[in-house]
Structure 1
Amino acid sequence: MRIDLHAHSTASDGTDTPAELVRNAAASGLDVVALTDHDTVAGHAEARAALPEGLTLVTGAELSCRLDGVSLHMLAYLFDPEEPELARERELVRDDRVPRARGIVAKLQDLGIPVTWEQVARIAGDGAVGRPHIATALVELGVVGSVNDAFGSLLASDGPAYVEKHELDPFEALRLIKGAGGVAVFAHPLAVKRGRCVPESAIAALAAAGLDGIEVDHMDHDAPTRARLRGTAADLGLLTTGSSDYHGSRKTCHLGEYTTDPEIYGEIVRRATGAFPVPGAGG
């Protein structure tokens, strides 16, 4: 059983539509895929409608958080999308994306880089605009060689074009996820190439506050980091997941590049009370 619990569509910053994502997941030999767009559930209905037979969809979102000045992402699985408190916070984060992106474009222009808002808006299309769209614009202009290069330099959290946005306190995010019946997993917690990461003492504090797991097997974690995180998870009683963090053609990772153990997936489903996985029926 092959399970990928972190993927993005055009509802946020992926390049596959939700329908294309689930079809590509099935073609990649996955049995389960999670749609976890940034701060939105807008792609869930389309993904459900197109879900191929034999593929199960886990609905979710990747929530933008900040702790002591450091950005981090919280994967929320199988929560009730209609729960009003969490829905309101997702909307606040989404509403701040456009002014934040415009601010990043202005900083890049001040650095002499000829990126324009029109270019970024074209790349984002109907999705929730974010740094990956700006990174793609920088690739188009030949300023950087890849999206990852942009995230590791100009757009990094300590980079010259970084602009903060409205983000949840992760402890509040945990409260909201749990209140909506969801399960919370800290995404790529030690992805140092993206910028600053919270200390491992923060992971312990989040675990004490109800964090369910940490994403261990991820393209931005090397082998020693994955081993270190497994030890941390064992010490704290946290689940460990593996995921591709697929963004379509925007990044080099592919669906199913890293996967989650079926027993851990089963425990995530057991803990969730806000929603259930959706079995495919040949959509």
Structure 2
Amino acid sequence: MRYDCDLHCHTVRSDGNDSPEELIKNAAKAGLKVVAITDHDIQPPLYLETDDGKVDIRVFARQNGIGVVLGYEFSCDTYVDDVHILGYRMNFESPLLKEEVERAKRSKSEAYRELCELLTSKGMPVDYENEILKYTDEEGNIRYRDPDEVQRKHIFELMAQKGYAPTWKDAKIMVRDDPELNVRRKKISPFDAIDLIKTCGGTAVLAHPFLIDEIIQYPDGRNLTRKEYIEKLINHGLDGIEACYPYSKTSYKGPLKDSEIEILVKQEYAGKVKFFTGGSDYHADHKKGVVNPRYLGEGGISIEEFNAIREYML
């Protein structure tokens, strides 16, 4: 099935494989009514360059028969994997947000170069310069990335291509679960992310809560349960939680089905947050030959549910 509104999608601006223009057109073709652009650690595009010149992205979406929500996915917490806060309805031209974008870029480029060096030292050669910064796209063309554009998923995809892991998801788990490989880049704290979103006039939503480990272990010996961690975020002003999400196509390690997680999240946090959202976390992975990739609208909410929270999204 496809949901009417997919509020968590990625483009080539971070680690997706559709351009923003392609994402909007593909979502419209798939019959969605609303699609969100929520790239990692970078503002969404406010305008698109088309054959007709520079066009406001919202106008372009309407011309294609679909609504677009603009967002920003903050990668949070240096010591906890997969804590992502989605910021919607923000002032994306805020100097404070631009400062965070630059800080995140610097932290990524340094950490990902180090990860490639560590993989190579452990018998899994990954050449940062000639395989990550310089790469071949799906059409066989040689492309170049700026170091600030590199995402960990680019490294995981290459690991799968080279046979170090069956899929990029397996590569992610391999790196995550190996203390020597799991290079910790300096990430914004989730509390600071929530504060920044609110300062920029936005709405803060916790993405894929069950990708956070059930028991969180900090280097200083502190332990927190996932539930305790989320309660802290709620107490700090978290507005919503992503409830409908395709965990079965991610690195989720638990036994629960996607539908069971959605029910649990809604039962546990009803009345504690203002609303629930949903999204596919679409990356257009089919372009990279990924078997059984996430598709647009695989996670999401109905148009009726969206209209009830429209004021928080637009």
State the TM bucket, normalised to the shorter chain: 0.7 to 0.9
TM-score, with structure 1 as normaliser: 0.87
Separation of aligned partners in 2, 1:59 and 1:226: 24
| Distance in 1 (alpha carbons) for counterparts of 2:149 and 2:309 | 27
Who is 2:80 aligned against? 70
Q: 1:111 aligns with which of 122, 133, 157?
A: 122
Separation in 2, partners of 1:87, 1:22? 24
Q: Distance in 1 between matches of 2:18 and 2:64?
A: 19
Q: Distance in 2 between matches of 1:216 and 1:44?
A: 27
- 1:1-283 matched pairs, under 5 angstroms: 2-41=4-43, 43-46=45-48, 48=57, 50-51=60-61, 52-66=63-77, 69-71=79-81, 72-117=83-128, 118-123=130-135, 125=145, 128-154=149-175, 156=176, 158=178, 160-191=180-211, 199-220=226-247, 222=257, 223-249=259-285, 252-271=293-312, 276=314
Cα gap change, 1:135 to 1:74, in 2 (>3 Å):
same
Range 46-55 or range 90-99, more displaced: 46-55
Cα distance in structure 2, aligned partners of 1:187 and 1:13 = 16
Residues 76 and 112 (structure 1), Cα distance of their counterparts in 2 relative to 1, 3 Å cut: same
SS at match of 1:98: helix
TM-score (structure 2 length as normaliser): 0.79
Deviations 1:132-171 (A, max 9, x none): 10011112111112111111222x2655422111211111
- RMSD value over aligned CA atoms? 2.5
Q: Percent identity?
A: 32
Q: Could you give the per-residue CA deviations for residues 22-74 of structure 1, whole angstroms, max 9, x where no partner exists?
A: 1111111111100000010254423817534211111111001107x213110
- Asked if 2 retains the 8 angstrom alpha-carbon contact of 1:151 and 1:194, the reply is no
| Higher normalized contact order (CA 8 Å, seq sep 6+, divided by chain length) | 1
CA contact (8 A) 1:157 1:195 kept: no
Aligned to 1:280: none
Question: Do the aligned partners of 1:9 and 1:43 also contact (CA within 8 Å) in 2?
Answer: no
Q: Structure 1: where are the runs of 5+ without partners?
A: 277-283
Q: Deviations over 1:171-193 (max 9, x none)?
A: 11111101111111101111158
Partner secondary structure for residue 85 of structure 1: helix
- Comparing 78-87 with 3-12, greater Cα deviation is found at 78-87
Q: CA deviation at 1:196?
A: 5.7
| AA at the equivalent of 1:201 | E
Give deviations 1:74-133, integer Å, cap 9, x for gaps: 011110011222221122112221111101101101111021112112347368211110
59 and 36 in structure 1: CA distance in 2 versus 1, 3 angstrom threshold: same
For structure 2, list consecutive stretches of 5 or more residues without a partner in the other structure: 49-55, 136-143, 218-224, 249-256
Letter in 2 for 1:121: L
Q: Secondary structure at the match of 2:8?
A: strand
Distance 2:216 2:118 in 1: 20
The match for 2:141 is none
Larger radius of gyration: 2
- CA 263–212 in structure 1, closer or farther in 2 if over 3 Å, else same: farther
